[in-house]
């Protein structure tokens, strides 16, 4: 009887020892596998004054801070909301885990042939460089540092396709405001309606007041609201490739607005008829850049001469 009891105690001791070994192993492994959550972040975002995004296929995008504002490719003002989204993404993105070892090489190659290389600069110093890529279903994003393995990344608490921020074309980073200039330098505004030439008008400044040249007595409240709508007009999106709108762009716009400043620089918007089953309205900025507009917003600038008459 005592011998059986001793055997049971020995078996229990062995099982307890094995359990302890397993717990210690798992704990040691977890400590070994701890991932630096700031692996793809910079120490101080406020020092970043240039972000360069280099797609494996497509046009490079350079976002630079100069003269107190962000610019796109040293040419256009950047959309400040998009800049906030970019830096929020850089700040909150964390590595979740490395890609499975058996597919690390293939994913790394995929990122470098289809993804984007991202460079962050403080002054002229490169402070962070990594690659961004995503799967075809746009459900998973990978980040990879040079000479490291790719990681599946996440923004904790959200299900986001993070790579989409870095896949944007240069036009998507542009400020969406159409007449984006210093309105203290306003000289004149001219509107032309292609099928109603007698409804066009010109706004100029006389004695520090806005006047409509073709209207003897204009409703100043309506005129003020109209100019405010023009000043605040924004596109929903710019089109890098016009595609299905090519034929419409070849037609005559239903109306156009041209503004000149005191340096005789011209800013123009042409607006085309709304296509059947289309929710947005097509426009063309400065005779070259197609853009899509919300019908409700653009309706406020489609005013004819008679609208301003008392």
pLDDT (tens digit, 9 = 90+) per residue, 188-214? 999 999 999 999 999 999 988 999 999
- pLDDT value at position 7? 44
* pLDDT for 16 beyond 60: no
d(CA 173, CA 169): 7
- Segment (H or E) for 32: helix 2-32
Instruction: Please give the Cα distance from 149 to 100 (Å, whole number).
Output: 10
pLDDT score, position 33 = 57
- Exposed, middle or buried, 167 (CB in 10 Å: 0-12/13-18/19+)? middle
CA angle 188, 190, 194 (to 5 degrees): 175
Q: What is the pLDDT of residue 9?
A: 44
Whole-angstrom distance, CA of residue 145 vs CA of residue 132: 9
The 8 Å CB, 24+ separation contacts for 58-67 are: 58/169, 59/169, 59/170, 61/168, 61/169, 61/170, 61/173, 63/173
Q: What is the mean pLDDT of residues 92-101?
A: 97
Model pLDDT for residues 19-63, shown as the tens digit of each residue? 444 444 444 444 345 899 999 999 999 999 999 999 999 999 999
**Mean pLDDT over each residue of the chain, to the nearest integer:** 90
pTM of the model: 0.80
Q: For 216-266, write each residue's pLDDT tens digit.
A: 999 999 999 999 999 999 999 999 877 889 999 999 999 999 999 999 999
Q: Kindly give the residue spans of alpha helices, DSSP state H, lying in 51-160.
A: 80-92, 104-114
Pairing outcome for strands 237-238 and 289-293:
antiparallel
Least confident of 33-37, 101-105, 149-153: 33-37
Sequence-distant (≥ 6) Cβ neighbours of residue 139 within 8 angstroms: 161
Q: What integer is the mean pLDDT of 72-86?
A: 96
Rounded to whole angstroms, the Cα distance separating 203 from 228 reads 13
Cα 163 to Cα 139: distance, rounded to the nearest angstrom: 9
Distances in Å between the Cα of 42 and the Cα atoms of 34, 126, 164, 264 are 19, 11, 20, 44
Closest among 176, 172, 292, 285 to 243, alpha carbons compared: 292
| Per-residue pLDDT at 163 exceeds 70 | yes
């Amino acid at each position: 009887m005592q011998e059986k009891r001793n055997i049971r105690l020995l078996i229990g001791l062995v099982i307890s020892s094995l359990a302890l070994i397993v717990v210690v192993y798992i704990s040691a492994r977890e400590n070994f596998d701890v991932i630096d959550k700031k692996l793809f972040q910079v120490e101080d975002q406020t020092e970043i004054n240039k972000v360069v995004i280099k797609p494996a296929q497509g046009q490079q995008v350079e976002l630079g801070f100069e003269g107190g504002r962000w610019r796109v490719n040293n040419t256009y003002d950047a959309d400040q909301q998009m800049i906030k989204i970019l830096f929020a993404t850089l700040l909150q993105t964390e590595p979740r885990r490395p890609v499975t070892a058996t597919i690390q090489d293939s994913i790394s190659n995929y990122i470098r042939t289809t993804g984007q290389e991202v460079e962050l600069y403080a002054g002229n110093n490169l402070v962070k460089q990594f690659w961004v890529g995503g799967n075809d279903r746009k459900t998973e994003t990978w980040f990879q540092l040079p000479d490291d393995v790719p990681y599946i990344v996440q923004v904790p608490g959200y299900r986001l396709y993070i790579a989409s921020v870095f896949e944007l074309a240069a036009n998507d980073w542009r400020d969406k405001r159409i007449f984006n200039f210093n309105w203290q330098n306003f000289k004149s505004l001219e509107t032309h309606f292609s099928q109603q030439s007698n409804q066009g008008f010109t706004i100029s400044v006389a004695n520090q007041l806005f006047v409509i040249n073709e209207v003897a007595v204009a409703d100043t409240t309506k005129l003020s609201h109209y100019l405010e709508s023009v000043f605040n007009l924004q596109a929903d999106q710019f089109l890098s490739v016009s595609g299905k709108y090519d034929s419409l762009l070849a037609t005559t716009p239903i109306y156009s607005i041209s503004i000149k400043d005191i340096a005789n620089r011209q800013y123009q918007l042409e607006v085309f008829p709304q296509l059947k089953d289309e929710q947005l309205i097509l426009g063309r900025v400065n005779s070259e850049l197609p853009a899509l507009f919300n019908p409700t917003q653009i309706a406020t600038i489609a005013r004819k001469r008679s609208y301003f008459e008392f």
